[in-house]
Structure 1
Amino acid sequence: MKLYRFLSADDTSEFCHKVSAALDKGWALYGDPTYAFDHANGVMRCGQAVTKEVEGQYSPDMKLGAQ
């Protein structure tokens, strides 16, 4: 099955570390990253979709970050 996650964080090194950790666990980049201004908090936000092929069947109870 193919799993999908969307990672997001403020535009800091935290975001880069989050994406790097996912790549290290076998996730693959999916599409282009996003970048937008969060007016409510006054900061830039980043986002990146990632996918991963795993064995088994999908369940909404899965902890995607633990895959």
Structure 2
Amino acid sequence: MEPGKTIKVMATTGEVGVVDEIDRGGAVWLRPPQGGPEWPADPSELREPTERERAKAFVLMTPVGQSR
């Protein structure tokens, strides 16, 4: 997982997050793609996003007036 670029989804809640950091204890810290407070997640609770979830996350991560 590459911080700032990897997108994961909480399997239990469906929340989409961008990997912000992985701490020494193994917790993965996620941040909403549109910005906001980060939250910790156990790696076993994460899944890969669908193509639709990934596309939406990239749209939310793109600043207005810019393209990727």
TM-score tier after normalising by the smaller chain length = under 0.3
Higher relative contact order (CA 8 A, sep 6+): 1
Higher normalized strand content (fraction of residues): 1
Query: Rg larger in 1 or in 2?
Result: 1
